Each structure stands twice: as C-alpha cells, then as structure tokens.
Amino acid sequence: GNSVTQMEGPVTLSEEAFLTINCTYTATGYPSLFWYVQYPGEGLQLLLKATKADDKGSNKGFEATYRKETTSFHLEKGSVQVSDSAVYFCALIFYTGTASKLTFGTGTRLQVTL
Amino acid sequence: GAGVSQSPRYKVAKRGQDVALRCDPISGHVSLFWYQQALGQGPEFLTYFQNEAQLDKSGLPSDRFFAERPEGSVSTLKIQRTQQEDSAVYLCASSSRLVFANYGYTFGSGTRLTVV
C-alpha cells in the first residue's frame, strides 16, 4: 500500500539554523507529494507541493525536491525563524478510482528558539 | 465562505453519547473529505463526498460512524455511542476538483472531540 515515513521529532533548532526534515514514501505509480504545516491551534495548511519527479516545490523559504530514485521528498530551509515552530506533515496523494486520497506521515514537530 | 469552517471547535462527550460534527466547505467546492487525527499522529482518511454522493467510506472505523452531505454543500459526521478511542481531532477538507486533486485540499481547523 501507500505510506509516508517521516523523521521523528521534536526537532529543536536555534534561530537562523539550517533545517532538514526527512520524508520517504512508498507508493504504486507516481503520486503527487506535499508538505503541510500545522501551527498551534490551527488547521493544516498546504506549504508546498511537487507533482512529478525532479519537481521542486518552494514557499516561504522552504524547499523540497521530488526524488523518484530515492522515493524521498525532504523539506529544507536555509534559516529558520521562531515563527516556523509548528508540526510539519509530509503527504502523498493518489487516485483510487473514486477519490484522490491524501496519505500523511506522523508529523515532525519543529521548535525554534532564540 | 472564505475557508472551510467546522463546528464546534471543541466537543466533550460522555462515553455512549451521540455527537454530530459539522463542516461548511468552501462555496462551490464539489469534493469534501473527512479525516481523523489522533494525538501525535497524522490525519487518516475517513470518507469522501463528490457533491451529495458518498463515493468512498472505506476509512470509517466502525458502523457507529456515519457521514452525510444531503445537498452537496454542508456535511455532518455523526458518531453514535461514542467510545474513548474516538477521541481525536476531526478534520474536514474540500477541493474544487473532482479527481486528480494534485493541488491538495483546503482543510478546516478541525473539531477536537474528547470522550470521557
């Protein structure tokens, strides 16, 4: 079946540090890949996406590249801020014939300190 | 509306009580999804509507869970005879696309259900 594996958190970084959150997936076919972010007390927000191999998604300084050869979609940011503290979810979407379903990883909590 | 609206934000239910959770999707969005997010976990698919038709309910954990969307807009997720293991955040999401939702969905803020 389809699944997503993320590195466990929490990840604690100082402000302006480099961030990497690893994500690998298992899927039949070629799913689209997403990173969602969940700030405290809020719903899931789409952070970035990539729909085919070698695509790079980017938003708000975050980047992730769809690597088919390693089935990975690692999230990176060059310089994190305290406001980036949140839970980050890697996800894939695939069409079952009746619906396009999102499958999520377990999430990685990021804590950024001054 | 501008976003997906869910109500109530918080619900505390006594074990055995029935609950109803409401979702107002973005106006005009034909696709609507319900997800369940247990504490410390990622969201898991429950069910999918295309307009008023429930096309996939494979994720509903038991026959105590029931969802409807009678007019193709507002949806209600009902849980009968709640159990402690039903405690979770229930997320609703909508999309303007029927299939191949490569752009993902827009999620609501969720309803946090606590069964005591």
pLDDT value at residue B65? 98
Q: Is there a contact between B35 and B91 (Cβ–Cβ < 8 Å)? A: yes
Q: Identify from B54, B105, B106, B112 which residue to disrupt to test chain A contact, counting A C-beta atoms within 10 A and taking the largest count.
A: B105
Predicted confidence pLDDT, tens digits, chain A (114 residues): 889 999 888 999 999 999 999 999 999 888 899 999 999 888 899 999 998 899 999 999 999 999 999 999 999 999 999 999 999 999 998 777 777 788 999 999 999 999
Q: What pLDDT digit, counting tens, does each position of B66-113 carry?
A: 999 999 999 999 999 999 999 999 999 998 876 555 667 889 999 999
CB contact under 8 A, B48 and A103: no
CB contact under 8 A, B45 and A91: no
CB contact under 8 A, B43 and A102: yes
Give the Cα separation of A94 and A30 in Å (integer): 8
Residue A112 neighbours by CB under 8 Å, 6+ apart: A12, A13, A14, A15, A17, A80, A81, A82, A83, A84, A85
Q: What pLDDT digit, counting tens, does each position of B21-33 carry?
A: 999 999 989 999 9
